[in-house]
Amino acid sequence: MEEEWPAGRVRQTFLDFFYSKSHTPWPSSPGVPVDDPTLLFANAGMNQFKPVFLGAAAPDSPLGRLRRACSTQKCIRAGGKHNDLDDVGKDTYHHTFFEMLGSWSFGDYFKEEAIGYAWELLTKDNFWEAGETGPCGPCTEIHFDLIGNRNAASLVNKDDPTCIEIWNLVFIELNRESDGTLRPLPAKHVDTGMGFERLTSILQNKRSNYDTDLFMPIFEAIHELAGDGIDGVKIKPYSGKLGSNDVDMAYRVVADHIRTLSFAIADGSQPGNEGREYVLRRILRRAVYFGTQKLKKKKGFLSNLVKPFVRVMGDVFPELKANENKIKDIIKDEEESFAKTLEKEAFVLLDTYGYPIDLTEAGRKSIVLDANATSQLRNQGVGSTDDSPKFQHEEHSSVVMAIYTGSEFIASASGVEDFSLVLKSTSFCGSLP
């Protein structure tokens, strides 16, 4: 049966509506910011309009002449203030890459008109900021109750999968300074952002973003590429189950991560060891882990998902088609490098220490330094851990440089709570995820 609201129609209907309200269609900025050192990735549609909000855009420039705009923005939330990486796969509505449908008024209309343009609203006191500093202001959010015929007010912003936020209307009138104070901006602006994937799932009458035509073709490609898998194990098609179903969670993780990696590489970044590149490497290795361990994929499967993904999104974002081979090659090289690292480390653990390999794959909770935490260490003069002692094959002593809980650095730890140690040097390999 033909879908009444395919994703393309959802996107275009939004843009056409605001175009009819005299909004200028504006292209998405790169998901990897080229001129904003405060961001690892573009995490909202408003990022590229900061100069307008701050009154810094030249009046005769294209940005300076804008009064109303609309767009669909490529967003990556996998590090920094907004980070959804660890939630991906566990529920039906979090992604590291997503599209944000946005509309803006720059010193033109304000609250009354913005609310009038936006469906039916649930108004509440709120405040929104893209980062630690920058343009911000009070906002009103629209949530959608997937159950209906009930009072769902108590479920708003409670991470309940049946009551989800879909549209946020922010009234930009303040700037958060580096000392934490709020300074009024020269003019008042409107900045709205709606989750494209979430809206599409509602219009397609799906209970999950992953059940829409944005993801199902990728799931089909994952299943088709499986072949006989590892040890002849053939995985089942995606069934949409949550909870203890590791296979469906792995489908969601792999599909989400190939989207993020493809867009980030197309926009000029790639996996590496520092900052946003480290985040991308972690995303890639997370996808490889779920693909090989949970979906029983053979090595090199991830790069083969680039082509079917580009088929889904390439018409809307032509940079994907233009860089398809580059994206595939970079992912393939990273997969091969990661496989060699794992094989080398597994051999050392088994041959030298007699350590059972399956214990290295146990699903224990891990505490990983994200890019923000790494940046804090750099600012404090703490460099990368020296792992050269791994080649010495002898007892090794080190110094604890920092203690990290997963959300903050602490001065001491009792051992009651989980924490991770940042060491000056180590005899273990520092290249594992």
Question: How many angstroms separate the CA atoms of 155 and 149, rounded?
Answer: 14
Residues 298, 303, 307: CA angle, nearest 5 degrees: 120
Q: What is the pTM of this model?
A: 0.76
Residues 372, 373, 376: CA angle, nearest 5 degrees: 90
Question: How many angstroms separate the CA atoms of 406 and 254, rounded?
Answer: 24
Hey, what amino acid is at 262? S
What distance lies between CA 18 and its chain's CA centroid? 26
Give the residues across from 167 on adjacent strands.
142, 194
Answer whether 85's CB lies under 8 Å from 29's CB.
Answer: no
Residue with tokens 């946020």: 168
The token duo for 186 is: 């020269």
Question: How many angstroms separate the CA atoms of 332 and 262, rounded?
Answer: 12
Q: Which residues contact 387 (CB under 8 A, 6 or more apart)?
A: 425, 426, 427, 428, 429, 430, 431
Question: How many angstroms separate the CA atoms of 51 and 106, rounded?
Answer: 11
Task: Give the three-class secondary structure for 89.
Answer: coil
| CA-closest candidate to residue 18, choices 109, 99, 79 | 109
Order across the sheet with 182-195: list the strands. 24-25, 68-76, 97-106, 182-195, 163-176, 134-145, 127-129
Q: Which residues contact 133 (CB under 8 A, 6 or more apart)?
A: 38, 175, 176, 177, 178
> Could you read off the pLDDT tens digit of each residue along the chain, which spans 433 residues?
678 889 999 899 889 989 999 999 999 999 998 888 888 899 999 999 999 998 999 999 999 999 999 999 999 988 766 677 878 888 888 899 999 999 999 999 998 999 888 853 333 744 445 556 677 767 778 888 988 888 998 998 888 888 888 889 999 998 888 888 889 988 999 999 999 999 899 889 998 999 999 999 999 999 988 655 555 667 899 999 987 678 999 999 999 999 999 999 999 999 998 888 989 998 999 999 889 888 888 778 999 999 999 999 999 999 999 999 999 999 999 999 888 877 666 555 455 544 444 444 434 455 666 556 776 777 788 877 887 776 666 778 888 888 888 777 888 887 657 788 888 888 765 443 3
Question: How many angstroms separate the CA atoms of 117 and 394, rounded?
Answer: 68
Q: Kindly compute the dihedral angle of the four CA atoms of residues 207, 212, 214, 301, in this order, to the nearest 10 degrees.
A: 90
